[in-house]
């Protein structure tokens, strides 16, 4: 972190947000406590240590290493930014609670900021409030309005007058369940209104630049719809523009089971292929410097065309900073680029730290940066005998693809398990095939978009090849339907996730220490400490084995020792559902909820996540009280 103050700033900013969201207390008190402990230690305890005594575990010794890595100015930046973000999130929490607890009649004027989203029984639009008659606090806030199915034909940029009901918004209904309030905060939505009467006052009232970009985006989507079959068109819009709203649920499920959902979220992969395509088109005709300038302009346009999701913002900002570094003949520091892009996103909306797409995008990128050399080195050692006599170039390409995939997955596995509770057994195979085919599909897709505005016949010819590529992707996603393709995993705790990351970083660091030829003084000390620890453990081998046996025995006893009877009443909406755990860990489910009036799968979307969040992967006994759909449909 030395020499990278922006990294300290973003870490402090994240800590302050998390502290405010989950601990609900002011972080300033914590900082005062740490400073007080430090000065008490300096005043009363530091002088009492015997300087010449060697200790294997010495906090004082390792604090010296910390001082070499972290400068006092960095600590100051960390503290300041953690306090700033903690104060911001406290204010935001209070503001949103006031919004979400309000209810009653609503009469206001607004601008429509989205196309229609078709829900099961109603249509939804995103709007920005201009004037709210009952309460001025809602002015300039973004909201969702729900209208009756096909009741109004609203267009982007329409100025409307709305009369309806402002709805109170509930939070999490079950342990570990979906938190609708948190979802709306991530979207910067301040409320939901059910419309009873609506009047369109004027058209085209949105900002000219935003309206133009929206028009271009809708035109591109229409061109795709005209040129491809429905299934291919919906998937291509997801691949190129991040619009997954029209993709069928069974295709989304196949992509999820095959661990391929990440290609439907615009990220660095898509942006890099776009930059590659633009450089191939413009570099020779305009020169590298002008081509880079045009690429930056295209990236900014693309950012808004795709809805500026966190993963797109990260990829575009990092790419622009990389290109900008070449303008000023500077070396691009990837760690600083990641930190700047993340800080910009969190300054815009601190609740984005809870956005799954943001977590996956940043952790995947960090995983590739940190673990790629480590994984590639292991793969090189594994294939060394194959290349002993002849250099196989195709093997190097395969190793590089595998190294990138494995490196990203090492960082992502805990987060995927935490959010989705699903481990894909064939992820290496599916992602390997994706890495081969996704580049040509994306580049041809972007080329198709451009050509359609220039020459429809040529674009139509190219569409044939794009269609074939997308169909291959769909076939690859069928890997998720093979036997033993998925394993449901209980939700890991935050402590378990932290221990995983600490452990994997230690393994990587120690591995390179034992592989390095020229060791630094610090690396030599660590190797010596490891050797000393192993030596002391060999001297006390019997004692170490005894401790291990006792530890494992305690864990085993705790697993079989009778516990208290647990009874959980699960909120499944309409209907009843009771989950019980006996003292001997037998699980019993009584009813499962459900409804004939809704297509919402309560078993898959509510009951299963609840069981996994509680740490259970099986049901021993199932009882049905009676066979009405609200008791049995999801069981």
Report the half-sphere exposure of 634 (CA within 13 A, side-chain side). Answer: 31
Tokens of 54: 């060697």
Which pLDDT tens digit goes with each residue over 525-569? 788 888 888 888 888 888 888 988 998 898 888 877 888 899 999
Q: Which residues contact 438 (CB under 8 A, 6 or more apart)?
A: 263, 269, 273, 473
pLDDT score, position 159: 93
CA-to-CA dists, residue 106 to 121, 135, 160, 471, angstroms: 21, 9, 13, 48
**pLDDT band of 85, cuts 50, 70, 90:** very high
The yes-or-no verdict on residue 501 having pLDDT over 90 is yes
Burial classification of residue 179, based on how many CB atoms lie within 10 Å of its CB (0-12 exposed, 13-18 middle, 19 or more buried): middle
Q: Which residues contact 380 (CB under 8 A, 6 or more apart)?
A: 399
Contact 349, 186 (CB under 8 A): yes
Average pLDDT over the chain reads 84
CA-to-CA dists, residue 596 to 23, 148, 569, 591, 593, angstroms: 41, 20, 21, 15, 11
Percent of the chain with pLDDT over 90: 22
Phi, psi of 24 (to 5 degrees): 60, 25
**pLDDT band of 269, cuts 50, 70, 90:** confident
Q: Which residues contact 266 (CB under 8 A, 6 or more apart)?
A: 241, 242, 306, 309, 311, 312, 315
Contact 351, 186 (CB under 8 A): yes
pTM for this one?
0.87
Percent of the chain with pLDDT over 70: 91
Which pLDDT tens digit goes with each residue over 108-163? 999 999 888 888 788 999 999 998 887 788 888 999 999 988 788 898 999 999 99
The yes-or-no verdict on residue 392 having pLDDT over 80 is no
Which pLDDT tens digit goes with each residue over 172-220? 888 888 889 999 999 999 999 999 999 999 988 888 888 888 888 889 9
What is the average pLDDT across 214-241?
Answer: 89
**pLDDT band of 64, cuts 50, 70, 90:** low
Which pLDDT tens digit goes with each residue over 353-365? 999 888 988 998 8
The yes-or-no verdict on residue 48 having pLDDT over 60 is no
CA 513, CA 221: separation in Å to the nearest integer? Answer: 52
Q: Which residues contact 80 (CB under 8 A, 6 or more apart)?
A: 12
CA 502, CA 494: separation in Å to the nearest integer? Answer: 12
Name the residue with tokens 């395509």.
277
Question: CATH number of 102-206: 2.40.50.140, 3.90.1150.10, 2.40.50.180, 3.40.50.2020?
Answer: 2.40.50.140
pLDDT score, position 70: 61
In the chain, domain spans: 5-97, 102-206, 215-488, 494-539, 566-632
**pLDDT band of 68, cuts 50, 70, 90:** low
What is the average pLDDT across 489-503?
Answer: 92
Phi, psi of 133 (to 5 degrees): -65, -40
CA angle 568, 571, 576 (to 5 degrees): 80
Which pLDDT tens digit goes with each residue over 458-476? 988 999 999 999 999 888 8
């Amino acid at each position: 972190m030395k020499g990278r103050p922006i990294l300290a700033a973003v870490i402090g900013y994240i800590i302050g947000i998390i502290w405010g969201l989950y601990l609900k207390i002011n972080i300033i008190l914590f900082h005062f406590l740490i400073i007080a402990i430090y000065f008490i230690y300096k005043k009363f305890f530091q002088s009492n240590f015997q300087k010449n005594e060697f200790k294997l575990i010495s906090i004082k010794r390792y604090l010296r290493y910390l001082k070499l890595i972290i400068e006092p100015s960095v600590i100051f930046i960390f503290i300041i930014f953690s306090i700033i973000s903690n104060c911001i999130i406290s204010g935001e929490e209070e503001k949103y609670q006031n919004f979400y607890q309000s209810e009653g009649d609503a009469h206001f004027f607004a601008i429509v900021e989205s196309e229609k989203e078709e829900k099961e029984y109603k249509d939804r639009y995103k709007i920005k409030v201009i004037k709210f008659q009952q309460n001025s606090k809602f002015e300039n806030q973004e909201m969702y309005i729900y209208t009756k199915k096909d009741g109004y034909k609203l267009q982007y940029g329409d100025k409307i007058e709305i009369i309806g009901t402002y709805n109170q918004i509930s939070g999490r209904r079950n342990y570990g369940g979906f938190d609708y309030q948190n979802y709306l905060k991530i979207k910067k939505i301040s409320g939901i209104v059910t419309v009873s009467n609506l009047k369109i006052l004027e058209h085209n009232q949105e900002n000219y630049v935003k309206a133009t970009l929206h028009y271009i985006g809708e035109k591109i989507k229409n061109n795709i719809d005209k040129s491809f079959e429905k299934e291919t068109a919906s998937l291509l819009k997801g691949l190129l523009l991040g619009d997954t709203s029209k993709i069928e649920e069974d295709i989304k499920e196949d992509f999820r089971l095959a661990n391929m959902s990440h290609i439907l979220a615009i990220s660095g992969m898509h942006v890099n292929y776009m930059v590659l395509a633009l450089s191939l088109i413009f570099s020779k005709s305009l020169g590298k410097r002008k081509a880079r300038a045009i690429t930056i302009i295209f990236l900014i346009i693309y950012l808004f065309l795709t809805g500026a999701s966190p993963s797109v913002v990260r990829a575009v900002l990092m790419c622009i900073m990389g290109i900008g570094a070449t303008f000023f003949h500077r070396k691009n520091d990837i760690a600083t680029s990641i930190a700047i892009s993340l800080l910009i996103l969190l300054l815009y909306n601190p609740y984005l730290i809870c956005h799954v797409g943001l977590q996956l995008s940043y952790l995947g990128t960090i995983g590739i940066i940190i673990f790629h050399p480590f994984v590639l080195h292991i793969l090189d050692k594994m294939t060394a005998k194959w290349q002993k006599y002849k250099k196989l170039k195709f093997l190097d390409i395969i190793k590089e693809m595998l190294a990138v995939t494995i490196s990203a997955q090492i960082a992502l596995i805990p987060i995927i398990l935490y959010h989705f509770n699903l481990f894909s057994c064939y992820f290496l195979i599916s992602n390997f095939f994706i890495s081969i085919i996704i580049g040509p599909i994306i580049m041809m897709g972007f080329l198709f978009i451009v050509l359609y505005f220039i020459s429809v016949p040529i674009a139509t010819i190219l569409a044939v090849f794009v269609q074939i590529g997308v169909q291959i992707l769909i076939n690859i996603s069928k890997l998720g339907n093979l036997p033993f393709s998925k394993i449901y995993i209980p939700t890991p705790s935050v402590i378990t996730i932290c221990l995983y990351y600490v452990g994997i970083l230690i393994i990587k660091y120690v591995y390179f220490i034992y592989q390095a030829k020229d060791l630094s003084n610090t690396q030599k000390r660590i190797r010596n400490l490891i050797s000393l620890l192993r030596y002391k453990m060999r001297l006390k081998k019997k004692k170490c084995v005894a401790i291990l046996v006792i530890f494992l025995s305690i864990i085993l006893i705790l697993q079989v020792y009778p516990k208290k009877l647990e009874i959980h009443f699960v909120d499944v909406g309409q209907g009843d559902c009771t989950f019980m755990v006996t003292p001997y860990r037998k699980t019993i489910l009584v009813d499962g909820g459900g409804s004939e009036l809704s297509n919402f799968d309560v078993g898959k979307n509510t009951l299963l996540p609840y069981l996994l969040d509680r740490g259970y992967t099986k049901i021993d006994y199932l009882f049905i009280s009676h066979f009405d759909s609200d008791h049995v449909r999801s069981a």
